[in-house]
Chains A and B, each alone.
Chain A
Amino acid sequence: MSDFARQQAEFQRGILDGDDTVLAEILDSQREKRETLFGVYRYAYGSRLVEAMRNDHELLHLYLGDEMFDEMGYAYVKARPSAHPNLRWFSHGLPEFLKSAKPYSDHPVLSDLAALEKALNDAFDAAESKVVELADMARFAPEAWSGLRFQPHPSAFRLDLATNAAAIWLALKNDETPADATALEQPAHLLIWRQDVTPMFRELAAEEAMMWDEAANGIPFGVLCEMLATYDEPDGAAGRGAGYLHGWITAGLLTDVSVGS
């Protein structure tokens, strides 16, 4: 290892781990001791990353308050140092961290709230793609419909939540007092996407969530309707399937519809 590489490794350990080895090669200034001057870098590291987390998770910050959010943020910074050159992706692992690290894992609403905010952030700057319009569907003959396959817009993302985090998110967004966190008997099925430039989400019924997931997997419309028939009134399955499809198209959720495999 070169001298330069060794010095950088020690400088980095000094910031990340509090190791003082590098101080032996740093000078006091005329006015200040080296410990204080190096401390500028130590302080900036954590505070910059926690600030990035606050920007990415405004409502989780609001929910926890400054003190608890910062405590959680510094714990995340310590546990998961950034590996990506772009700060935009630093807090990507936060939902998983909150789900697995004590004491946060004792409060599953935190992980759910973080996951919802992450999904909305991801939808905001997801890739561009064309959007299927209702008029586009007219080119398919009625007999072709059972073979239609659907491609979701790149911004679309499905998320299941175990808690009432979506209701808490809405309350916080509207400056209302959120309800107490509760575990749901059945998971809430959310669909998150970007309509023009605005990230959106809505909750899906269990059968629509199933239909979306399977459509995204390439299952054709005819089979999707058969699958819907197992969820509710079989005779109305095709109508319900057509209704869900209509909703997806008008919301800009599909980027392509095609016939065949």
Chain B
Amino acid sequence: MNIASRLPDTSAAALADRPVTSAKPPFLGFGLGLRHQHYDEILSGNPPIDWFEVISENYMLPGGQPLRTLDRICERYPVVMHGVSMSIASTAPPNFEYLQALKDLARRVEPKWVSDHLCWTGVHGKNLHDLLPIPYTREALDHVVSRVQLVQDFLGRAIVLENVSTYVQFSNSEMTEWEFLSELSRRSGCWLLFDINNVYVSAFNHGYDPMTFLNGIPADRVVQFHMAGHSHMGTHIIDTHDHPVCEDVWDLYAAALRRFGRVSTMIERDDNIPPLDELLLEVARTREMAEKILPRCTQAE
């Protein structure tokens, strides 16, 4: 037997061109990012939140209170996992130890989906713990498509990728961010997490109309919205996720609802964490706006 003739073709081109299909994740309703400051209140009060998103890395731990709490949350609410360290666009080899830990956590949590960001976090064995931007080139697209394929094969599930806020643009980019995301989703089969605040931030920083971005994304590929706040520096906006959602971003959310239809939506606050009640008001607003714009379409599946 000629073993070589039976080996899978693992070239980037072969991986990138392989068709991928997976069932679209369900509509979950209107959720919130789980933060440890609210653990007690959530567990004692069962607040009316349709689902929670948890930061994967916060629970990629041996044991203790965080995992015990997560288990209790999972018993009561649908949960999705959202990571910050997959570094899917890095040119360094993937960190398979990290991916295995992510897979182990997913086995425990049984999330509705697993997401991360279209970005890289470091090369040469270093991790900068930031969501770093990429040039929108054909070379980068081929690379990221093949990486997404590999990660999806490793995890045994389609992943969801989020657009990040960016502060710089590269002179060698050959396409727009929305063209890159659309093509990435079409070729790799990954779903998209559309962070409406990040669209607003990047559009301001790079001087384009956020509606152009919004209209450039294929509606059937988006499975989640993030809503968040930011810090305005005058000449540019920094995505701090530490403020309430601003009115411009609420307006963009309304436009996104008209464009994408019903999409699982959540409030994401990463810093300067306010009392739970304050965030519940924002969650309620995401629901109320969706019910107004998309009547009779907002019941969670």
**Known contacts A4-B137, A5-B91, A37-B168; A83/B127 CB under 8 A:** yes
Q: Is the CB of B235 within 8 A of A11?
A: no
Instruction: Determine the chain A residues whose CB is within 8 A of the CB of B98 once the complex forms.
Output: 85-86
CB within 8 Å of B: which A103-160 residues: 124-128, 154-155
Binds B, one of A27-35, A178-186, A218-226, A234-242: A27-35
Bound Cα distance from A18 to B168, whole angstroms = 16
CB within 8 Å of A: which B40-80 residues: 57-58, 60-68
Interface flags for B91-108 (1: CB within 8 Å of A; 0: not) read 100010010000000000
Interface flags for B164-179 (1: CB within 8 Å of A; 0: not) read 0001111110000000
Q: Is the CB of A197 within 8 A of B123?
A: no
Binds B, one of A38-46, A64-72, A167-175, A209-217: A38-46
Q: Is the CB of A85 within 8 A of B170?
A: no
Bound Cα distance from A128 to B122, whole angstroms = 32
Interface flags for B245-287 (1: CB within 8 Å of A; 0: not) read 0000000000000000000000000000000000000000000
Q: Is the CB of A32 within 8 A of B236?
A: yes
Bound Cα distance from A30 to B68, whole angstroms = 49
Of A27, A29, A38, A85, which one neighbours B87 at CB under 8 angstroms? A85
Q: Is the CB of B95 within 8 A of A25?
A: no
- Least distance between A124 CB and chain B CB atoms (Å): 5
Instruction: Determine the chain B residues whose CB is within 8 A of the CB of A31 once the complex forms.
Output: 207, 234-236
Bound Cα distance from A194 to B66, whole angstroms = 13
- Residue in A closest to B137 when the chains form the complex, CB atoms: A4
- Least distance between A84 CB and chain B CB atoms (Å): 6
- Residue in B closest to A127 when the chains form the complex, CB atoms: B62
Interface flags for B104-131 (1: CB within 8 Å of A; 0: not) read 0000000000000000111111111110
- Residue in A closest to B66 when the chains form the complex, CB atoms: A125
Q: Per DSSP, are chain B's interface residues mostly helix, strand or loop, or mixed? A: loop
Instruction: Determine the chain A residues whose CB is within 8 A of the CB of B143 once the complex forms.
Output: 2, 4
- Least distance between A177 CB and chain B CB atoms (Å): 29
Q: Is the CB of B63 within 8 A of A126?
A: yes
CB within 8 Å of A: which B117-170 residues: 120-130, 132, 134-135, 137, 139-140, 143, 167-170
Q: Is the CB of A25 within 8 A of B130?
A: no
Q: Is the CB of A26 within 8 A of B169?
A: yes
Of A2, A30, A52, which one neighbours B139 at CB under 8 angstroms? A2
B206 within 8 A of A: yes
A88 within 8 A of B: yes
Name A's B-contacting residues (CB within 8 A). 2-5, 7-9, 11-12, 15-16, 25-27, 29-32, 34, 36-38, 40-41, 44-45, 48-49, 52, 81-88, 90, 124-128, 154-155, 194, 197
Name the 4 nearest CB pairs between A and B, nearest first: A85-B85, A5-B91, A125-B64, A127-B62
